[in-house]
Amino acid sequence: MVFNSDPKLVSSNDENSTLILASAAAVLPVSELNAINRVAICKTATVVHVQRNDQIKTENSDRWLMYLVEGSLSLFLGKEEVGVINARTPEALQPLFLDKGAYQSARTTTMAKIARFGRQQFDILLKEQQKNAVTVMDIHVGELDNLVFDDIVTAMEKNAISLAISPDSADKILNSYRSVAGIPELADVIQSDAGLSAHIVNAANKVDATTNESTSSIRGAITRLGVKETQVCIASLLQSNTMKPSSDVLKNRFSRYVQRVTLSSSIVQVLSKKLPHLKPEVAALVALSSDLGELAVLTYANKYPERFNDEQSLSSVVENLRVIVSCWLINSWEYPAEFVDAAQKSRDWYRNHNGEITYTDLLTAALLIIQSESPDSEKSSIPSANNLLLARRLQQSGIDLTSPGDIIKAASSKLVSVQMILKAS
């Protein structure tokens, strides 16, 4: 890290000690450390006071996890200004220079403070912490959450979980699945419904108990089951999982879920074609599977229309349980690891990582595009893609989130072709 003027390092006084401790509890990935380890890393952390118009470069950034804690920074890629980071914003919770492809230097526009934590020390502490760690999700739940969750737990224990299929989808699938020409078309029919897709994958993963490989696409599931057995499964699943919504609140939320998941599945297929290392059929199943927890909540909440008679109550339960139930289902049904990652992180809008674009990144992009073009709610917490590091990384791979209309158009074309298959019988 290089400054034009000499910064003053201060880490011993009470003010900066408080600032360091507060930062450690908020910034990523330092906040992943437990309380004891955060105290340990704070003992060697420092606060750098930076003068106005000082330049900060990437030198020694491999030694430090650095965070803007006061002031603002202009970001530069070469000589071009590519963005601004302000303290106490979600962007400031990520380390500076974590993604060197997004920007190469920064310049202060005001007096600023940067907190620095030892990168090697962090790695050692986190590795030690993870040796015998058990993942715990701390969620504050209420009576309605427990009502639905208890039913899901009971169903899982009996290996009899239900994931709702809408009557409209069920009718179309029932009238078409026996008459399609081949495996690709049959896969499109199955992928038209998230619940049906999940059950087919679950069945396929149980076919050969000796294999350690889980299927990662509907085409792979059909191949493993065989076409005739897949058709038998479809008929049985449609009969046992078709759900008629018991209230307008549940009907509206279920309809929005189906529209979002179906469109996101089509979008990720379009985006993945620009990335040779990702497969469209895998991307589609990742998108269909990531919110299975929400589908399970809606399925079991449907038993209690009198308890879920307003949108706020239902939305609260969905938000509390969506991720934990999704991950539970996906792990229990032995999906590949990238599916769990998508369920956990696709709504972590400000995350950043090095390396290639992942299926989770594509799903996050799809959710951003859908919110931009067809907002689900006026009070949505989904941010604009304009200032996200993910958007810049995707742009470097040929995916431009500033033109969401073009992506939606391509995805809609795919959906139309699937609807044609469903109506062809």
Q: Which residue has the higher pLDDT, 392 or 271?
A: 271
**In this predicted model, which residue has the larger pLDDT, 252 or 413?**
252
Residue boundaries of the structural domains of the chain: 8-130, 143-163+244-423
Question: Looking at residue 178, what is its pLDDT?
Answer: 84
Band (pLDDT 50/70/90 cuts) for residue 6 is: very low
Q: Long-range CB contacts (< 8 A, 24+ apart) of 398-404?
A: 398/274, 399/271, 399/274, 399/357, 399/365, 401/365, 401/368, 401/369, 404/368, 404/369, 404/372, 404/373
Q: pLDDT value at position 130?
A: 66
Mean pLDDT score of the chain: 86
119-126: average pLDDT: 88
- What percentage of residues in the chain have a pLDDT greater than 70? 89
- Residue 358: the pLDDT is 94
Beta strands at 80-86 and 112-118: parallel, antiparallel or unpaired: unpaired
User: Is the CB of residue 184 less than 8 Å from the CB of residue 222?
Assistant: no
Signed CA dihedral, 124, 129, 132, 136: sign only: negative
Rounded Cα distance between 35 and 30, Å, is: 10
Share of the chain above pLDDT 90, in %: 46
- The pLDDT score that the predictor gives to residue 274 is 93
Which pLDDT belongs to residue 1? 40
Query: Do the domains spanning 8-130 and 143-163+244-423 agree at the CATH topology level?
Result: no
Number of residues in the chain = 425
Per CATH, is 8-130 categorized as 2.60.120.10? yes
pLDDT confidence of residue 10? 39
Q: Which CATH class is domain 143-163+244-423?
A: mainly alpha
Q: What is the mean pLDDT of residues 107-126?
A: 89
State how far the Cα of 125 lies from the Cα of 412, in Å rounded to an integer. 47
For the stretch 16-30, pLDDT in tens is 788 898 888 888 889
Give the pLDDT confidence of 45-100 residue by residue, as tens digits.
999 898 888 888 776 677 889 999 999 998 888 888 888 889 888 888 888 887 66
| Per-residue pLDDT reduced to its tens digit, 249-263 | 999 999 999 999 999
- The per-residue pLDDT for range 210-251, each reduced to its tens digit, is 556 788 999 999 999 999 999 999 999 999 999 999 999 999
What's the confidence (pLDDT) of residue 58? 73
> Average of pLDDT values for 328-348?
89
Task: Give the contacts of 223 (CB within 8 A, at least 6 positions apart).
Answer: 183
Cα angle: 280, vertex 175, 301; to 5 degrees: 75
Distance (Å, whole) CA 148 – CA 194? 20
Say yes or no to pLDDT of 127 above 90: no
- What is the pTM assigned to this prediction? 0.68
Task: Quick: pLDDT tens for 364-411.
Answer: 999 999 988 777 655 566 777 877 888 888 988 889 888 888 899 999
166-169 long-range Cβ contacts below 8 angstroms, 24+ apart: 166/193, 166/242, 166/243, 166/254, 166/255, 166/258, 167/242, 167/243, 167/244, 169/193, 169/196, 169/258
